[in-house]
């Protein structure tokens, strides 16, 4: 039983720390929850978790692919950095609502925001290296078996997802009380943050 309980709750603790990391996902989650509502922030959180599950699956069960990924690490880094810079620039252009034939505003689909969370998380090689470092520590220092590592990462995923959902709820609540001018300022601020994080990622050694 200790092989389940201890790794699981250790993962929850690690997830709390990782969930409050002030990276790209944190700001994307806050901005989209404020601008588009809780459901869109929730969709981004789902995309992030799906991305992390894929990364962890590669680390745990696809070790023969890790060397291949290492070969393309620089390409992924530059692609992710350019994507963030482009996303940041996009925030400074007026985003007109699309109107359907009935004169109603067409809202972006759930798939759009899930994909956004997935891509932003997956294209940042720092996330992969973070999970890889954690697994290396669990296996090398704590002597975790693969099963124990799985329970650890399940705990971490649940914790991270819970924090992201809570942040979405809070940001949505705050967003309802803000004026359009303040919302526009938030979009501009997010744009600067995306550009800065993108430039850092491009020039960061990994």
Does residue 128 surpass a pLDDT of 70? yes
CA distances from residue 115 to 40, 152, 153, 165 in whole angstroms, order as listed:
11, 26, 22, 17
- pLDDT band for 103, please (50, 70, 90 cuts): very low
- pLDDT band for 45, please (50, 70, 90 cuts): very high
Does residue 185 surpass a pLDDT of 60? yes
CA angle 108, 15, 74 (to 5 degrees): 70
pLDDT at 22: 66
Over the stretch 111-124, which tens digit does the pLDDT of each residue have? 989 998 999 888 88
Beta strands, E only, 81-171: 98-99, 105-106
d(CA 65, CA 88): 32
- pLDDT band for 105, please (50, 70, 90 cuts): very low
d(CA 67, CA 194): 29
What's CA 108's distance to the chain center, in Å? 19
Q: What is the pTM of this model?
A: 0.80
Residue 132 contacts residue 88 (beta carbons within 8 Å): no
Q: Computed from CA positions of residues 173, 177, 178, 183, in that sequence, does the dihedral angle turn out positive or negative?
A: positive
């Amino acid at each position: 039983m200790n092989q389940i309980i201890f790794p699981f709750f250790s993962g929850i603790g690690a997830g709390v720390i990782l969930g409050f990391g002030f990276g790209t996902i944190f700001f994307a989650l806050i901005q989209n929850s404020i601008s588009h509502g809780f459901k869109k922030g929730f969709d981004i959180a789902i995309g992030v978790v799906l991305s992390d599950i894929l990364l962890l699956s590669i680390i745990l069960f696809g070790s023969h692919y890790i060397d291949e990924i290492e070969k393309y690490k620089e390409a992924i880094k530059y692609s992710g950095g350019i994507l963030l810079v482009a996303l940041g620039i996009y925030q400074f252009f007026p985003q007109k609502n699309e109107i359907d034939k009935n004169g109603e505003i067409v809202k972006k689909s759930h798939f759009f925001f899930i994909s956004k969370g997935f891509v932003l998380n997956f294209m940042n090689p720092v996330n992969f290296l973070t999970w890889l470092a954690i697994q290396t520590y669990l296996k090398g220092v704590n002597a975790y078996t693969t099963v124990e590592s799985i329970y650890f990462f399940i705990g971490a995923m649940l914790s991270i997802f819970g924090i992201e959902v809570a942040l979405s709820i809070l940001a949505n609540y705050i967003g309802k009380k803000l004026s359009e001018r303040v919302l526009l300022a938030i979009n501009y601020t997010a744009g600067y943050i995306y550009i800065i994080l993108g430039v850092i990622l491009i020039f960061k050694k990994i």
